[in-house]
A and B are shown apart, each in its own frame.
Chain A
Amino acid sequence: MKRALTAAFLVLVSLPLLYAMSQLPQHGSATSPAYTHIAPRYLERGPEEAGAENVVTDVILNYRGFDTNGEVTVIFTSLAAVFAVLLAGREGDERSASEPRARTTPEVSPVASFVVRLLSPFVAIFAVYVVMNGHISPGGGFQGGTVFGALLILATVVLGKATAEKLQPARIRGLLQAAAPLTFIAVGVAGLIMFGDYLAFPKAAALAWVRTLWLIVIEIGIGVGGASIISAIFWQMGGDR
């Protein structure tokens, strides 16, 4: 009954939605407002004035850098949120939430262990490559960070948490997790002080390499932060057991 009602309701709702869709500017048209209003400027002048040949990178890190600033904050928030939910609760919860369960970690086959050890450097290099090349090719901080996070997760599963944690010393783990927003704030405030606007990049034509450098700095910050947060969430969810 509930299902039928829901379905009927959704069909009813979808009708105006579909009608509206039919009224939108035609899909793929080069004359739609979306394509003629702001995008042309980005496409034409992005590489020079924003610093990256990949215009998407220009948009996310420069033109709309503040969105990304907010976005990395969202990731950080999700980490804090996961901590808030999963960190040791009241008495009686501790057993289930944070301390490892009584059962031991299952034996990992030597083959898996060997393969992971073998692949790890390559995966890491690939992650760095993706981060560093975000401005000229598809990729960037988020993507590279995710790859590196995946590596950490892989290492945790196969080699144990202790090994993986070596890459994130406890002393600076807090800073690593906050790396992305902090990088943004640092770059932003630097822009504010030097050029009068938050997140402003040097504007002079001769300083194109500085723009690119700043982009890379931000990408690295995002990458480090992303990897730390992904692995931390994984550990907190109990993936280390």
Chain B
Amino acid sequence: MIVHLWQNIDYVASVVLFCIGLYCVITKNNLIKKFIGLNIMETSVFAFIVALGVVDGGDAPIMGAGARAPFTNPIPQALILTGIVVAVSTTALALSLVIRIYQHCGTIEADELREME
């Protein structure tokens, strides 16, 4: 199993990142930090999926003069392009909410907000 893990070390890295991100989401008190944690998680999933497309020795899948096989798998890259946009959009909304919460409450610490309720 260790051998397999070592071979798939890219995937392992994304699992570790995922857990770090989730840790931040759960434990951080500051709403922005929470959201940074979420962004770390997003990044880890994107890294995982992009890593799926890697082929040893592969080149960017752009055909044209001088291109030569093997090419990396274009599908994960396309998916993650979409994924990144989704993540950015979520972030925009989250930050807007944080702005509003700060305007209303004067704080973005989760525990202080909870006390206000």
Residues of A at the B interface (CB closer than 8 Å) are: 2-3, 6-7, 10-11, 13-14, 17-19, 21-24, 26-30, 34-35, 38-39, 42-43, 46-47, 53-56, 58-60, 64, 67-68, 70-71, 74-75, 77-78, 81-82, 85-86, 89, 93, 96-97, 136-138, 142, 233, 236-238
Contact = CB atoms under 8 A, between A and B. Distances in A.
B96 A86 contact: yes
A53 B15 contact: no
B5 to A, nearest CB: 5
B53 to A, nearest CB: 7
Contact of B74 (A27, A42, A78, A238): A42
Interface of B is mostly: helix
A34 B15 contact: no
Contacts of B69: 43
A14 B63 CA distance: 39
Interface residues of B, number: 53
A97 B104 CA distance: 11
Contacts of B112: none
A69 B30 CA distance: 35
Nearest to A21: B11
B51 interface: yes
Contact of A24 (B8, B77, B100): B8
Nearest to A64: B78
Nearest to B82: A71
Contacts of B90: 78
Contacts of B73: 34-35, 39
Given A28-B55, A28-B56, A58-B74, A85 B82 contact: no
B93 A82 contact: yes
B56 A53 contact: no
Nearest to B14: A21
Nearest to A93: B103
A101 to B, nearest CB: 12
A142 B81 contact: yes
B78 A53 contact: no
A230 to B, nearest CB: 9
B116 interface: no
A54 B97 contact: no
Contacts of B100: 85-86, 89, 97
